[in-house]
């Protein structure tokens, strides 16, 4: 039985539409509403999705709107709106334009859905998560970004391909920013309990780490127009399902740090326990000296973007 009344998805592009489909088919909420500024786009995709219900058997009602008052009463809001990367662009290149979009949506959440848990997807996600929380005024536990969940899925995929094993048997974390300075935690990566270092030589592992860091860009370059949305929305659906079912899942997300890992007043990917009210707690794990240094560099990259954003806002 669904534990959520309404999930609102901001943005009805490839990410928003695909996520709405996944959430409807999972039956995690009584209603999924797509919101977009392009008239007809959210309504059309919602109707198309709704018409698949008799075939797939889901009970979720899917609707679309161009008005932000459709957020009213939402239990979960997923912020997907924003410009997608083009070949040659970094996530940071999107900073200013996407911040303007996020500001309007954060203000709308504060007005219409002040009790919602918010999952931020818009890039650069660590910075946009911080900004969304700052503008909305929501508690830190209820605003977090989808970052490490997606990066970890890519990392696990590449490890599984290298070893010819089932992806589900690969466990690990990718922490830090959702960008070029992300940090796969190799010391905690294993395959059914066997440490990765015992299964692959160092140079193969290094190549997998590099491919993970460029994972989104690899897809952008292949598509030439647009960016990834299948794996990202699978990651987002996993997070929303954890909230809906109060699952207490241990997952990496971009969370607001208040002293954890030695950092304060920044949003960056760390392991958290996720339940119905959002982040229940941040889990501080032991890192090697190299991992800790890489994590610090990753946080510094996020802070650099936050400074750029602050200057632009000023």
Q: What is the pLDDT of residue 83?
A: 82
Mean pLDDT (whole number) for 123-140: 96
178 is catalytic: yes
Sketch the domain layout of the chain as residue ranges. 4-145, 148-313
Task: pLDDT band for 28, please (50, 70, 90 cuts).
Answer: very high
Buried b / exposed e over 268-292, threshold 16 CB at 10 Å, is bbbbbebbbebbbebeeeebeeebe
Residue 104, pLDDT > 60, answer yes
Q: Cα separations (Å) of 267 from 167, 263, 306?
A: 28, 9, 10
* Domain 148-313: top CATH class: alpha beta
CA distance 221 to 211: 13
Task: Considering the candidates 105, 164, 178, 248, report the single residue annotated as catalytic.
Answer: 178
Q: Under a CB-based contact definition with an 8 Å cutoff, are residues 272 and 147 in contact?
A: no
Q: Cα separations (Å) of 166 from 60, 170, 198, 211, 213?
A: 32, 7, 17, 19, 21
Rounded to the nearest integer, the mean pLDDT of the chain is 94
Higher pLDDT, 108 or 1: 108
173 contact partners, CB below 8 Å, separation of at least 6: 148, 152, 184, 185, 188, 189, 252, 271, 285
Task: pLDDT band for 137, please (50, 70, 90 cuts).
Answer: very high
Residue 285, pLDDT > 70, answer yes
Q: What is the pLDDT of residue 265?
A: 97
CA distance 142 to 161: 35
Count of residues making up the chain:
314
Task: pLDDT band for 1, please (50, 70, 90 cuts).
Answer: very low
DSSP secondary structure string for all residues of 62-126 = EEEES-GGGGTT-SEEEE--SPPP-TT--GGGGHHHHHHHHHHHHHHHHHH-TT-EEEE-SSSHH
Mean pLDDT (whole number) for 273-301: 97
Q: What is the pLDDT of residue 91?
A: 56
Mean pLDDT (whole number) for 114-128: 96
> Domain 4-145 maps to which CATH number in 1.10.3720.10, 3.90.1170.40, 3.40.50.10330, 3.40.50.720?
3.40.50.720
Q: What is the pLDDT of residue 96?
A: 82
Mean pLDDT (whole number) for 163-190: 95
Residue 250, pLDDT > 80, answer yes
Mean pLDDT (whole number) for 105-128: 97
Residue 86, pLDDT > 80, answer no
Residue 307, pLDDT > 50, answer yes
Residue 78, pLDDT > 50, answer yes
Task: pLDDT band for 10, please (50, 70, 90 cuts).
Answer: very high
Q: What is the pLDDT of residue 140?
A: 97
Task: pLDDT band for 310, please (50, 70, 90 cuts).
Answer: confident
């Amino acid at each position: 039985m669904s534990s959520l009344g309404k999930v609102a998805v901001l943005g009805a592009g490839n990410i928003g539409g695909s996520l709405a489909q996944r959430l409807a088919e999972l039956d995690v909420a009584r209603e999924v509403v797509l919101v977009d500024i392009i008239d007809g786009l959210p309504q059309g995709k919602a109707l198309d999705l709704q018409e698949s219900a008799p075939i797939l058997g889901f009970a979720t009602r899917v609707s679309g709107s161009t008005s932000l008052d459709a957020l009213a009463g939402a239990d979960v809001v997923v912020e997907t709106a924003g410009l997608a990367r083009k070949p040659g662009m970094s996530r940071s290149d999107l900073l200013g334009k996407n911040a303007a979009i996020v500001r309007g949506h954060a203000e709308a959440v504060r007005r219409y859905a002040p009790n919602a848990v918010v999952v931020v997807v818009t890039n650069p996600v660590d910075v946009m998560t911080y900004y969304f929380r700052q503008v909305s005024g929501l508690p830190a536990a209820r605003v977090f970004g989808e970052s490490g969940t997606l990066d970890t899925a890519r990392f696990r995929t590449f490890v599984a391909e290298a070893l010819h094993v089932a992806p589900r048997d690969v466990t690990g974390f990718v922490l830090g920013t959702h960008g070029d300075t992300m940090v796969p935690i190799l010391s905690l990566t294993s395959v059914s309990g066997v440490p990765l270092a015992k299964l692959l030589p160092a140079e193969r592992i290094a190549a997998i780490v590099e491919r993970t860091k460029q994972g989104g860009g690899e897809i952008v370059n292949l598509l030439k127009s647009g960016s990834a949305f299948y794996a990202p929305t699978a990651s987002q659906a996993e997070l929303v399902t954890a909230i809906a079912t109060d699952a207490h899942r241990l997952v990496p997300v971009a969370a607001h740090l208040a002293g954890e890992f030695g950092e304060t007043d920044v949003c960056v990917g760390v392991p958290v326990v996720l339940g119905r009210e959002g982040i229940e707690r941040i889990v501080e794990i032991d890192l090697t000296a190299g991992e800790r240094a890489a994590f610090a560099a990753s946080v510094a990259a996020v802070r650099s973007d936050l400074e750029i954003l602050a200057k632009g806002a000023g």
